[in-house]
Amino acid sequence: MAYVKKYQTKKGERWMYVVENGINPQSGARRRIVKKGFLKQKDASNALKEYERKARGRNLEDSNITFEEMAQDWLDVYSETDIKVSTIRVRKHEIGHLNRYFAKYKIRDITKRMYQNALNDLKKKEQLAHNTISGIHGTGRQIFKRAIQQDYLLVDPTEFAFIPKDKKTVEDIENQKVVDKYLEKHELKMFLETAMTQGEIDDYAIFLTLAWTGLRAGELVALMWKDIDFEHATINITKTYYNPKNNTKNYQLLPPKTEGSIRKIDVEEEVITVLKKHQLKQKELKLQVGKEYYDKGFVFGRFNPPYYGYPHFIKTIENRMESLLKKTPEIEKRLTPHSLRHTHTSLLAEAGVELLQIMDRLGHTEDETTTQVYLHITKDRKKEASQKFGELMRSL
């Protein structure tokens, strides 16, 4: 049943149309499609006719497709587009979360309230991070959008859904240990000295490069000699390493995390010098092992048999850093190679580089931890700005 009716607002009379769309089997309530805000009855009537024209021929009650079937249908189409393998893997994981709530439900029976409750549950019970839930919600929206495109739905249950936000207390904010997310200047010096004196043959080159460039570990191990311009002291970042099963020979080189991650960065002579010395060691190894070396031009190819020249696993870089930190007892922090990106941020901020320039160098548009580190390091400069303003006004 469909009809047009008048209603009253603070700004006067308005018109709306209502479409009765059966009974919700979960709640027993009537399903209604309502569109409000028309100034004239004629406008509401015309809009209703247009709605009915688009809906003509659809029989939603005959559609028994389940959410998990619809999700797989969407994923099959999505996978055929120019999407990275790693992104498809993430989408599958996000669908897995949604399937826990909706898998066997008919797609037409999922309501806005059910969908919002699922997002709330992911936050309260599952305690997932805001960005994780945002990704799940993004995938959910695309699945329901396809359901509408395929005439399985008229109303999108994800419309107007919101992602629950982290509720931090004043105490939480004040107690955030930003300093535990990066190395101080003197700590970095100690860590690199340990890498040089107690690390593997290529540890010093690996960790100095990470600390002085802010590269992600995946970008580092995918780096090739052709990406380094020794003459102009630049590094070109165009790819990242992907190997979820840690199979040495079955790795993939994929485009970086985001479009903004494709970048060219300037590096200092210290980095160039270390890389040149590292290259000489690599050439010596090639002469020793000959054809046993997997010579595909990787900067940080392995020095150990039987896989000479193959890129390191990201996990290997993580394990080596953990080992070096244990050999540096003065540093009582639990850090990862990603922490060296935050270390790079802290040192750039201390040197007076602006946040936007740092973001550009790191290859991302926003990152909460990077921003936290930057604000922590630059808080004294903010105080100095306030003092200078005060001095200016007192001189008037």
Q: What is the mean pLDDT of residues 129-142?
A: 93
Strands across the sheet containing 30-38: 2-9, 12-23, 30-38
* Beta carbons of 6 and 14 less than 8 angstroms apart: yes
Peptide bond into 306 cis (omega under 30): yes
Write out pLDDT tens, residues 277-316.
999 999 999 999 999 999 999 999 999 999 999 999 999 9
Q: Global pTM?
A: 0.67
Mean pLDDT of the chain: 88
Q: How far apart are the first and last CA of the chain?
A: 75
DSSP state of 105: S
Q: Within 13 Å, how many C-alpha atoms sit on residue 3's CB side?
A: 4
Token pair listed for 174: 């004040």
Write out pLDDT tens, residues 238-288.
999 999 889 999 999 988 867 788 999 999 999 999 999 999 999 999 999
Alpha helix ranges (H) inside 168-292 = 170-174, 185-198, 203-213, 217-221, 269-289
* Domains observed in the chain: 2-56 (no CATH), 67-149 (1.10.150.130), 188-331 (1.10.443.10)
Q: Which residue has the tokens 């600390």?
A: 211
